[in-house]
Amino acid sequence: MTRVLLILLVLPLLCVAALAQTVAPPQLLPRPSTPPPGGTDRQIVLDVQVTDKSGAPVRGLQKQDFTLLDNGQPQDISSVQAIETTADAPVEMVLVVDMVNTPFRGVSFEREQVKKFLLGNGGKLSVPVSLVVFSETGTKVQNGSSRDGNTEAGVYDQFEAVLRSGNLTNGAQWGAAESVELSLKSFMGIAKQEEKRPGRKLMIWLGRGWPVAGEGSLRTSKDSQQLFDWITSLTTALRQARITLYSIDPVALRNAGAIRNSGYETFLKPATSPSRAVPGNLALPVIAVQSGGRVFNSSGDVNAAIADCIADANWFYVFSFQGARASQANEYHSLEIRVHKPGLKVRTRAGYYAQP
């Protein structure tokens, strides 16, 4: 990604002189490449939540109870499997602690809430947890996962100690453009790492997310194309890794009475082409909703928000179907799943980018 596009992504937009006063930034993001024609797997897997009016999971549904629409057209569903959380369930939680985009005053609160979650219930976690700590000095990713919260708390302390030894400054040195760059590179790296692990992952990103600009901030068609490439690459990486993303802003949660951020909803409409891509499409909450996840920024309890995320693992359905063969690279296909029973809500991935 060029420096021009990085600057255009941030809000507020920073002048070049201001950026020049920051410390030397990391290497700029490369432009992601599109998959080669015929080189993609068209078998698509969807993790699907079905709930009643109270938000409780609905059990016992069969394949004939659903209709799957791809760009509004009914598709054959290859299989529908119901998954319930057990000791051997193919699901885990990936907890990402974002120290780059969290204000300095919120880092200690964030740390306190992570430890509270891990050590709660005597350290017994309902699903296996894998920790990721993201800071300016690097990203530490746990090798494997565990249901032992006491062990995970120790891993978290070790990660934080190593990262802090690298003069972690909690955003004091980097400009907003560098924060965007660091965040997107880390996000893509985590997704690619999780793709190697089987099963579903509930990725909980603890932090407000990287800053982005609104519509009208892209200057050239090249900027628009590069932005679109990143949107499609991140979306595809999350789908292939079976990651459902959840955005929890600890600062907004802490000040829930004063901060209610719903601005991201403006950008939920998917980017179907470079000309329709805007930086807001890359906002963390937008990616979360489009992955089938949720956004938490209006409740006062971080641990309650995490518990709500984990509840998605209690019971869900796994769909598989044959994706469309596109007429061009990165052709967007919207997805909709309907249940033939009244009063039920369905939440899953908003769509996918098909390839020739």
pLDDT in tens, 165-214: 654 444 444 577 888 888 999 999 999 999 999 999 999 999 989 988 65
Structural domain containing residue 257: 3-18+26-36+88-314
- Please give the mean pLDDT across all residues of the chain: 83
* Same domain? 330 vs 267: no
Question: In the predicted model, what is the mean pLDDT of residues 284-305?
Answer: 90
Distance CA 242, CA 178 (A): 28
Judging by beta carbons within 10 Å of its beta carbon (0-12, 13-18, 19+), is residue 65 exposed, middle or buried? Answer: middle
In terms of domains, do 80 and 169 share one? Answer: no
Same domain for 78 and 94, yes or no, is: no
254 and 308 in a single domain? The answer is yes
pLDDT at residue 2, as a whole number: 57
Q: What is the pLDDT of residue 250?
A: 85
Same domain? 120 vs 130:
yes
Split at pLDDT 50, 70, 90, the class of 25 is very low
Q: How many domains does the chain have?
A: 2
As a whole number of angstroms, the distance between CA 12 and CA 76 comes to 46
Question: What is the rounded CA–CA span in Å between residue 210 and residue 158?
Answer: 25
One domain, residues 103 and 149: yes
Alpha carbons 224 and 160: distance in angstroms, whole number: 37
Give the model confidence (pLDDT) of 217-229 as tens digits: 667 888 899 999 9
Please report, for the domain that includes residue 174, its CATH number.
3.40.50
Same domain, residue pair 224 and 97 = yes
Neighbour tally for 326: CB within 10 Å = 17
Quick one: 165 and 185 in the same domain? Answer: yes
- Asked whether residue 115 falls in the same domain as residue 253, the answer is yes
Q: What is the mean pLDDT of residues 272-299?
A: 92
**Same structural domain, 195 and 69:** no
**Is pLDDT of 137 > 50?**
yes
| Cis peptide leading into residue 12 (ω within 30°) | yes
88 versus 132: the higher-pLDDT residue is 132
